[in-house]
Structure 1
Amino acid sequence: MRKRSTSVASIILLPVLIFSLFLIHVQGKLNEAGCSSSCGDIDNIKYPFRVRGDPSGCGDPDYEFSCVNNKTILEIFPGKYYVKSISYTDNLLHLVDVNFANGSCSLPSGSLKNRDGVAQDFRYKGEVDFATESLIRFVKCSSNVTLQFNQTLHYNYTEVPCLSRNGTYMYAVVDGRYEANNYPRTCSLVSLAPVNYHDELYKKIPTYEAVAKALQAGFDIGWSVECRDCSLAGKYCVYGPKASDTRPIIFECQKEYHEITRFEGNLIIAGIVVGGVIGLVIIVAVLVCVICKCKKRKQQPKKNLQNQQSSTL
């Protein structure tokens, strides 16, 4: 009796559990679709983003902004950046380092990208058009490289006046993504700041005013929730199918390829050999059966004839 009541209870509870999970899923989707915040000039802040203080069901905690004095701020590595715009179509944020927002002479508040120009945070591994991207590296030197060395080699070294003092020279070095680490031996990299492409930066001798203008204008950075999830799973993030035809670009986790061990290889070879032998045995058996049947069919008329002759006699 107890077993029967238990099975009845299970039958009743299973649909209830499934329906509850369905309601939770629908509620999450409704929260995701219905949540929208604003801060200053940035309207319609929605999934995956949220503003600190939003209800717990809104946005993704990994993509949280703060709103200070009506300015949307992203804090990351360990810099602070004003969020100037959000493109949900291209999965792009346009950011400005808080230290450069007013055109002030300063170092970056943090290094969001590494010396190769790649975002260090796995939450922001989305796609950016490399043709529109540049880097400004802040390089500290113990001598005036533009005087000591051939100026042709260091045409893109622009001195930062507010940071050069007491025999130490700070330069803003404008380059692309793949021109790193070619510094004079008296210089070392301090930090870097990504900027969007500006023609003024690539003139023969860019002025610090042009550099400051580019820094104040900011840069684009992509985000990808899929890449975040892949990184948390210990996998690499790659373009999904038809990535070039879709906006936003869809990423997915790279498939893992397991390297076969010697033992596994031997098992595979043994399996192929055994399978081949079994297949050969089956083929031989089938051929033997067919041959036997053919012989029986040929022998049957002879037996019938012999029987007829014997009966006639």
Structure 2
Amino acid sequence: MYREKSFLCFLQIMIFVLLLHHNHHQTCYATNSKNKTCPPSSCGKISNIKYPFRLKNDPTTCGDPRYELSCENNKTMLTLSSAKYYVKSINYKNYTIRLVDPGIQESESDCSSIPRYFLTTSNFTSSYYPSYPGDPYQTFQDRIVGTLPLFQHVVYMNCSNPVRDDPVYADTSSCIKLNSQGGHVYVIAGDLTVGNLKHNDCHVEVVTAISFFGYNISNDEPLNFYQKFSYSEIHRMLVDGFEVSWLSSPCEDLCGNSNDCYLRETTWSPKCSDHGDYCITTMGFHVDCGTPSKLRMFVEGTMYGIARGFLQAFGATIFDGSRGISESKLGIDIGTILGKYVLSAYILVRLMVGVVVFFAKLIHTYRIRHTSMYENIEDFLQGNSLMPIRYSYKEIKNITRGFKDKLGEGGYGKVYKGKLRSGPLVAIKMLGKPKGNQNGQDFVSEVATIGKIHHTNVVRLIGFCVEGSKRALVYDFMPNSSLDKYISSRDDHISLTYKQMYEISLGVARGIAYLHQGCDMQILHFDIKPHNILLDKDFIAKVSDFGLAKLYPVENSIVTLTAARGTIGYMAPELFYKNIGRVSYKADVYSFGMLLMEIANRRRNLNSNADDSSQIFFPYWIYNELIEEREIEMLGEVTDEDKKNVKKMFIVALWCIQLKPNDRPSMDKVIEMLEGDTKDIQIPPKPSPYPTEFIQDHVTSSSESVSDDDATSSISFLEETIEVPLL
């Protein structure tokens, strides 16, 4: 970066010097009899038609008759070789006018139109001699840096047979239909060279022009430039049009009819060759010839010397001092010393300092980010009197015997089995590095949520570890793993009785109800799903994983969220659609309803055996079964009480997954219905679907991807834990 700045300063100094000795060659335009003071005319989109151009209806004293335009149907037209072209724009700065063939439609999306007129450089009698008198337009423009072509050709070829494996033939079949003879139309974009029109069964239909799109030229070689384009790209270039030059008019005004003329791009003004030819300095710059002043010779010599000395310092090629105008030998010697020793040393030092500063800033930024995360956690822990024990990282390693027994792994980190010195088994969750700018928020959220609470159906936090970037949470060990292990479509899964499933659903409901109403603060979990329901040795359900939980005052019926959070398939629709209702504790009720449906069915909410594709989603299928009072098929030996409990669980689940939050019951009401008689519970309205595909499209990041061997691929996307901005 510093090296580039030094080069930039160096070039700026040289340009300034060149401008100094250019000032004494100011260009003056000759005054002639042509009227340049007429007010501008307009037609359609072209609102500034002025000298040398004129409209047909303008006064005869205005403009140059050779540059006459017409206004037809509110469009400005120019006649070239007896053909009329649309005028797209006039550039009075570089003396060019942009034209479009009238056969080309202006819409870039419609590529079916083809040019109407045949146009090549041969239509311009003085195309290679811009200042030739009498010719109003040219296809080339002489400039101080060389000759610039303004357009190149587009050739439409009609071929009897398809052209295959030719890189320059663009197929038009997607835009242009076959002609009546059944031929094939191809287009070539580039210079009109017979060597590239090599297919014997093809003949030229029409040739038109597009703006010049590249250089492959030198003073000694002719133009022969081709590039592979699709026809849609070529058609867009046709819509953009091509340019021709009208530099001959100002050149005539300035130089008359006997002098060559070129365009100076630094000032965008024409210059006559006999008003001071340009020469090339040893630095490669084009400057006016003549006897330079001593100051100019010294400055230019110094600049050349600096460049030569700098290149010598790095072993690069040296400019040829024998070519160009004279410079001061003293200036060259001084400049060589400055460039070889002062400038090179300065740039090297700046470069080294820049590298050191860059890495220092990078390390500082990294430390600041991680320090702020650790301080955030430490400030939280110091401001809270927590009952859990704080362990060191060394103690965590001893408890897990060096992390030998891994229980599982997810987006949050890894879980290991351990044993306390007092004897009880524990599960230790080692949190991974925070994603984005979370600043350890998942750790703070989980510790703050369950650090002070204790309930039979909520997992107990025994302790935690915060040591540098190491963060761990220590829980009671659950020997029967999580509930998702028992909700499966496989035959070899560990089965539970319907009575156990019923008791588990009651336990989960009581745990969530306690979170909503049993604490000093209302705790919304936002991620109720089978993976987060743990089972102890007696299969008592424990609500776990509070990484996405939020705390609110108990009196708050409506909460504020800046991002949707949870697992797709269990998330309440109001987390995505604001018009459904406000976010509240009813979001957990919805998630519990989806979970309860799976517990009662003992498998995922997907009915792969349904006859009607609209009934594949299990809640809709079970609703129809209940409405039509058909007996629901159950696995194994079941009692009448099991049948009543399963039916009751399905009805309660349908109440919980109602689309609008106000139609769902509270968790206290859910417990009351689960413990009550089935006859006292009415069947709710059919749950309204909402487009899960729409939700999936708007998930931009995920914090956990859960794999489940028991779930089919059809619903694998439904279990992605997310936290994204609300729609």
Question: Compared with structure 1, are the counterparts of its residues 227 and 57 closer, same or farther at alpha carbon in structure 2 (3 Å cutoff)?
Answer: closer
| Aligned equivalents of 2:266, 2:249: Cα separation in 1 | 17
Q: Does 1:212 pair with 2:219?
A: no
Other-structure match for 1:61: 65
Query: What's 2:135 paired with?
Result: 122
Larger proportion of helix: 1
Task: Give the Cα–Cα distance (whole angstroms) in 1 for the partners of residues 180 and 148 of structure 2.
Answer: 35
CA distance in 2, matches of 1:113, 1:251: 28
CA RMSD, 1 decimal:
3.9
**Counterpart selection for 1:156 from 166, 169, 173:** 169
Measure, in 1, the Cα distance between the counterparts of 2:232 and 2:126.
Answer: 26
Deviation at 1:92, TM superposition (A): 0.7
Q: Aligned residue for 1:111?
A: 118
SS at match of 2:235: helix
- Whole-Å separation in 1 of the counterparts to 2:31 and 2:152: 43
CA change 1:178–1:250 in 2 (3 A) is: farther
2:208 maps to which residue? Answer: 193
Match of 2:187 among 167, 172, 181: 172
Is residue 136 of structure 1 aligned with residue 138 of structure 2? no
Evaluate the alpha carbon distance shift between residue 74 and residue 226 of structure 1 in structure 2; reply closer, same or farther with a 3 A threshold: closer
How far the C-alpha of 1:69 sits from its partner, in A, is 1.9
Change (3 A) 1:55 1:178: same
Distance 1:50 1:101, change over 3 A: farther
Q: Is the 8 A contact 1:132 1:197 kept in 2?
A: yes
Contact conserved, 2:153 with 2:192, CA < 8 A, in 1?
Answer: no
Q: Are 1:239 and 2:252 matched, yes or no?
A: no
When residues 109 and 89 of structure 1 are mapped into structure 2, their CA distance, relative to the original with a 3 A threshold, is same
- CA drift of 1:27 comes to 9.9
**Equivalences, count:** 215
* The 10-residue stretch of structure 1 (121-130 or 184-193) with the greater mean CA deviation from structure 2: 121-130
What is the CA-CA distance between 1:216 and the residue it aligns to?
0.9
Shift of 1:119: 7.5
Unaligned 5+ segments in structure 1 are: 1-24, 254-313
| 1:1-313 equivalences in 2 (<5 Å) | 28=33, 31-103=35-107, 105-114=112-121, 122-125=135-138, 127=141, 130=148, 133-146=151-164, 151=165, 153-159=166-172, 161-162=176-177, 164-175=179-190, 177=191, 179-183=193-197, 184-196=199-211, 204=228, 206-226=229-249, 238-240=260-262, 243=264, 246-250=267-271
Supply the distance in 2 between the matched residues of 1:168 and 1:237 (Cα, whole angstroms).
51
Aligned with 1:123: secondary structure?
Answer: coil
Counterparts of 1:191 and 1:236 in 2: how far apart (Å)? 37
1:198–1:214 contact (8 Å) kept in structure 2: no
1:264-287 Cα distance to aligned partner (Å, 9 max, x none): xxxxxxxxxxxxxxxxxxxxxxxx
| Shift of residue 28, structure 1, vs aligned partner | 4.2
Distance 1:243 1:197, change over 3 A: closer
Give the C-alpha shift of residue 211 in structure 1. 2.0
2-side partners of 1:117 and 1:174: how far apart? 20
Cα distance change, pair 130–111 in 1 and its aligned pair in 2 (3 A): farther
Cα distance in 1 for residues equivalent to 2:167 and 2:125: 24
In 2 relative to 1, CA 156–117 (structure 1 residues): closer, same or farther, beyond 3 Å?
A: farther
Distance 1:86 1:193, change over 3 A: same
Q: Alpha-carbon deviation of 1:250?
A: 4.5
Where 1:100 maps in the other structure, the secondary structure is: coil
Give the CA deviation at 1:59.
Answer: 0.8
Offset at residue 96 of structure 1 (A): 1.3
Tell me by how many angstroms 1:222 deviates.
Answer: 1.0
- Percent of pairs identical after alignment? 28
Q: CA deviation at 1:36?
A: 1.9
Secondary structure of 1:105's aligned partner: coil
What code does the residue aligned with 1:141 have?
C
Pick closer, same or farther for the CA change 1:40–1:110 going to 2, 3 Å: same
TM-score normalised to the size of structure 2? Answer: 0.26
Letter in 2 for 1:239: C
Q: 1:56 to 1:132 in 2, by over 3 A?
A: closer
Quick check: 2:251–2:271 contact (8 Å CA) kept in 1?
no
Query: Structure 2: 5+ residue runs without aligned partners?
Result: 1-29, 128-133, 215-225, 275-727
Per-residue deviation at 1:227? 9.1
Answer yes or no: is the 8 Å Cα contact 1:227–1:252 preserved in 2. Answer: no
Q: 2: distance between equivalents of 1:89 and 1:196?
A: 17
Residues 237 and 169 of structure 1: CA distance in aligned 2, closer, same or farther (over 3 Å): farther
Shift of 1:112: 3.6
CA distance in 1, matches of 2:61, 2:270: 25
Q: Secondary structure at the match of 2:189?
A: strand
* Cα distance in 2 for residues equivalent to 1:59 and 1:72: 16
Q: How far 1:218 sits from its partner (Å)?
A: 1.0
Please give the alpha-carbon distance, in whole angstroms, between the structure 1 residues aligned to 2:71 and 2:79.
11
Q: Distance in 2 between matches of 1:132 and 1:166?
A: 36
- CA drift of 1:224 comes to 2.8
Quickly say closer, same or farther: Cα 1:162–1:66, change in 2 above 3 A: farther
TM-score, length-normalised on structure 1? 0.56
1 CA distance for matches of 2:73 and 2:184?
Answer: 35
Aligned counterparts of 1:108 and 1:49: Cα–Cα separation in 2: 25
Task: Measure the CA separation in 2 of the matches of 1:72 and 1:122.
Answer: 21
State the SS of the aligned residue for 2:233. helix
- Is the CA contact (8 Å cut-off) linking 1:116 and 1:178 kept in structure 2? no
CA distance in 1, matches of 2:258, 2:172: 39
Amino acid at match of 1:162: K
Q: Judge which range, 183-192 or 121-130, deviates more.
A: 121-130
Compared with structure 1, are the counterparts of its residues 141 and 229 closer, same or farther at alpha carbon in structure 2 (3 Å cutoff)?
A: farther
